[in-house]
Amino acid sequence: MGSKERILRLKDQTRRNILDSALDIVETGGCDALSMRKLADQIEYSPPVIYEYFRNKECIYLELAKRGHLTLAEKVREAKSRHRIPEKQIEAMWIAYWNFAFTHKVFYQLMYGINFVCVPTENDSAEANLVPDLMTEVIAALFKNKPVSDETIRMKYYTYWAVVHGLISLNIIQQTTDEKMGLEILTGAVKGITTSIIFVPPIN
């Protein structure tokens, strides 16, 4: 490995170390616990080193949110690959979405601002659009070649998302249901929306 490659690899590792440590601080103490000084102390770098990679905390929050969106997209894509029928795919994808939210709760809260004041203000990234793109592709297949507009497909996606995200938010904030009941509500709601797509003619 040449010196240039070694330097780039070291920079990439340093950047990952910063983000890993920032996530650890947020998981332990919330957004308010994160400061550039505290971050530097934890990873034993000087603050100027941190600023070489991220100009402020907002940039760190944004990168963590992007990491969360990438992980979520991987889980959703994997769930889709286990099925061939669109009805089964969409249900499995939303269950994977649900599981991600509770397995990676801090990521999910940061991505969507649930109980966090540090949600990135510029969160309309390419990473944030990965899951909607995956979902809308399957939703389009649910219409089974019926004529349908892109707007209708997007509306159906947001119908699913409003229900699923709403259930997740309620459980994170208020813990209104146990995990089993929450998953039963989720699957019932998803099946209901899917049925409405398959058996009711779309309105364009």
Contact between residue 135 and residue 197 where contact means Cβ atoms under 8 Å apart: no
Q: Which residues, in sequence order, are CB contacts of 63 under 8 Å at separation 6+? A: 19, 54
For residue range 9-32, list pLDDT tens digits in order: 888 999 999 999 999 999 888 888
Largest CA distance in the chain: 62
> What residues contact 191, with CB distance under 8 A and at least 6 apart?
91
pLDDT(146) > 90: no
pLDDT of residue 113: 82
Whole-number Å distance between alpha carbons of 140 and 146: 9
pTM, two decimals, is: 0.88
Q: How confident is the model at residue 201 (pLDDT cuts 50, 70, 90)?
A: low
Q: What is the pLDDT of residue 54?
A: 93
Could you tell me the residue ranges of all domains in the chain? Answer: 1-55, 64-199
pLDDT at 31: 82
111 closest CA partner among 3, 23, 201, 194 = 23
Helix (H) / strand (E) element for 3: namely helix 3-29
Q: According to the model, what pLDDT value does residue 8 have?
A: 84
Contact partners, residue 2, CB within 8 Å, separation at least 6: none
pLDDT in the model for residue 94 = 98
Per residue in 52-99, pLDDT (tens digit) is 999 988 899 999 999 999 999 999 999 999 999 999 999 999 999 999
pLDDT of res. 159: 97
* C-alpha span between 108 and 112 (Å, rounded): 6
Residues 135, 138, 144, CA angle at the centre, nearest 5°?
150
Architecture of domain 1-55: Orthogonal Bundle (1.10)
* Identity of the highest mean pLDDT range in 22-36, 67-81, 158-172, 188-202: 67-81
In contact, 119 and 61? CB cutoff 8 Å? yes
Q: What is the pLDDT of residue 173?
A: 79
Helix/strand/coil percentages in the chain, nearest 5: 75, 0, 25
Tokens of 117: 């004041």
Class of domain 64-199: mainly alpha
